[in-house]
Structure 1
Amino acid sequence: MSRQRSMSGTIPSMETSGDQLKDNTIIIVLGASGDLAKKKTYPALFGLYKNGFLPRDVHIVGYARTKMDEAEYHKRTTGYIKVPEGDSETQAKVEEFKKLSSYVSGGYEDGPSFDNLNKYLESIESKYQSKERNRVFYLALPPSVFIPVAKNLKEHCYIAKGGINRIIVEKPFGKDTDSCRELLKALKEHWTEDETFRIDHYLGKEMVKNLLVLRFANIAFSSGWDKNSISNVQITFKEPFGTEGRGGYFDEFGIIRDILQNHLLQVLSILTMERPVSFAAEDIRDEKVKVLRAIPPVERSDTLLGQYVAANGKPGYLDDDTVPHNSVCPTYAATTLWIHNPRWEGVPFILKAGKALNEAKVEIRIQYKDVTQGIFKDISRNELVIRIQPSEAVYLKFNTKTPGLYTRALPAEMDLTYKRRFADIHIPEAYESLILDALKGDHSNFVRDDELDVAWKIFTPILHWIDGLSGPRPKPVPYPYGSRGPKELDPFIAKYGYKRSTEGYAWPVTNVSNL
Structure 2
Amino acid sequence: MIPATNQRPPATIVFIFGGSGDLNLRKLTPALYNLFIDKYLPERFAVVGLGRSPYTDESFRERLLEGVQSFSRRKNGPEDAWKSFSPSVSYLQMDAGDAAAYTTLSDFVGTKKSEWGEEINVVFYLAVAPQLVPGIATNLGKLELCDDTSHVRIVVEKPFGHDLKTARELNALLGGLFAEEQIYRIDHYLGKETVQNILALRFANSLFEPIWNRRYVEYVQITASETVGLEGRGGYYEGSGALRDMIQNHLLQVLCMVATEAPISFEANEIRNKKVDVLNAIRRIKPEQVKDIAVRGQYGPGEKDGKTIPGYREEEGVKPDSKTETFAAVKLFVDNWRWEDVPFYLRTGKGLPEKATIITIQFKPAPFYAFPEEATNGWDANRLTIGIQPAMDIRLRFQAKRPGQTLAIDPVDMVFSYKDAYEGQEPEAYETLLLDVMTGDATLFMRADQVEAAWKVVTPILDAWESETPDFPNYPLGSWGPEAAMQLVEKDGFQWMTK
Deviation at 1:464, TM superposition (A): 2.1
CA change 1:281–1:88 in 2 (3 A) is closer
Deviation at 1:108, TM superposition (A): 1.6
Deviation at 1:96, TM superposition (A): 1.9
Distance in 1 between the 2:263 and 2:350 partners?
35
Deviation at 1:160, TM superposition (A): 4.8
2:61/2:86 contact within 8 Å kept = yes
Of stretches 308-317 and 161-170 in structure 1, the one that deviates more from structure 2 is: 161-170
User: Is residue 350 from structure 1 mapped to residue 337 from structure 2 by the alignment?
Assistant: no
CA change 1:163–1:228 in 2 (3 A) is closer
Distance in 1 between the 2:472 and 2:101 partners?
45
Secondary structure, aligned partner of 2:406? coil
User: Is residue 252 from structure 1 mapped to residue 247 from structure 2 by the alignment?
Assistant: no
Partner of 1:512: none
Partner of 2:293: 302
Distance in 2 between the 1:89 and 1:245 partners?
30
Distance in 2 between the 1:139 and 1:118 partners?
17
Distance in 2 between the 1:499 and 1:135 partners?
49
CA change 1:260–1:86 in 2 (3 A) is closer
TM-score (norm 1): 0.89
CA change 1:74–1:325 in 2 (3 A) is same
Query: Counterparts in 2 of 1:39-438, with a 5 A limit?
Result: 39-82=26-69, 90-130=78-118, 132-156=119-143, 158=145, 160=147, 164-298=151-285, 299-300=289-290, 301-312=292-303, 313-376=308-371, 379-422=379-422, 424-438=423-437
Q: What's the Cα RMSD here? A: 2.4
Q: Which residue identity lines up with residue 459 of structure 1 in the other structure?
A: V
CA change 1:305–1:128 in 2 (3 A) is same
Secondary structure, aligned partner of 2:483? coil
1:111/1:156 contact within 8 Å kept = no
Distance in 1 between the 2:84 and 2:57 partners?
14
CA change 1:320–1:86 in 2 (3 A) is closer
2:353/2:478 contact within 8 Å kept = yes
Deviation at 1:476, TM superposition (A): 4.5
Deviation at 1:248, TM superposition (A): 1.6
Distance in 2 between the 1:89 and 1:178 partners?
45
Partner of 1:513: none
2:486/2:495 contact within 8 Å kept = no
Of stretches 446-455 and 62-71 in structure 1, the one that deviates more from structure 2 is: 62-71
Deviation at 1:475, TM superposition (A): 3.4
Distance in 1 between the 2:148 and 2:316 partners?
52
Post-superposition Cα deviations, 1:409-429, rounded to whole Å, max 9, x if no partner, equal 11111111222222x132100
Structure 1 runs not aligned, ≥5 long? 6-12, 14-19, 508-515
2:69/2:76 contact within 8 Å kept = no
Secondary structure, aligned partner of 2:335? coil
Post-superposition Cα deviations, 1:22-71, rounded to whole Å, max 9, x if no partner, equal 12x21111110111111111111111111111122101111112222223
Query: Which of 485, 491, 495 matches 1:495?
Result: 491
CA change 1:316–1:443 in 2 (3 A) is same
Partner of 1:451: 450
Q: Which residue identity lines up with residue 406 of structure 2 in the other structure?
A: Y
Distance in 2 between the 1:261 and 1:417 partners?
29
Deviation at 1:493, TM superposition (A): 1.5
Secondary structure, aligned partner of 1:431? helix
Deviation at 1:499, TM superposition (A): 4.8
Distance in 2 between the 1:126 and 1:436 partners?
24
Q: Which residue identity lines up with residue 52 of structure 1 in the other structure?
A: K
Deviation at 1:398, TM superposition (A): 1.1
Partner of 1:511: none
2:226/2:352 contact within 8 Å kept = yes
Distance in 2 between the 1:81 and 1:157 partners?
35
1:63/1:104 contact within 8 Å kept = yes
CA change 1:487–1:393 in 2 (3 A) is same
Partner of 1:482: 478
Secondary structure, aligned partner of 2:91? strand
CA change 1:272–1:88 in 2 (3 A) is closer
Q: Which residue identity lines up with residue 332 of structure 2 in the other structure?
A: L
Q: Which residue identity lines up with residue 226 of structure 2 in the other structure?
A: E
Secondary structure, aligned partner of 1:252? coil
Distance in 1 between the 2:158 and 2:77 partners?
35
Distance in 1 between the 2:443 and 2:213 partners?
24
Q: Which residue identity lines up with residue 311 of structure 1 in the other structure?
A: G
Count of residue pairs the alignment pairs up = 484
CA change 1:415–1:86 in 2 (3 A) is closer
Distance in 2 between the 1:400 and 1:230 partners?
20
Distance in 2 between the 1:327 and 1:431 partners?
33
CA change 1:87–1:366 in 2 (3 A) is closer
Structure 2 runs not aligned, ≥5 long? none
Distance in 2 between the 1:477 and 1:58 partners?
50
Post-superposition Cα deviations, 1:175-218, rounded to whole Å, max 9, x if no partner, equal 11111000000001111001111101111110010011101111
Post-superposition Cα deviations, 1:293-331, rounded to whole Å, max 9, x if no partner, equal 011234411011111111112111011131011102110
CA change 1:113–1:280 in 2 (3 A) is same
Deviation at 1:500, TM superposition (A): 6.9
TM-score (norm 2): 0.92
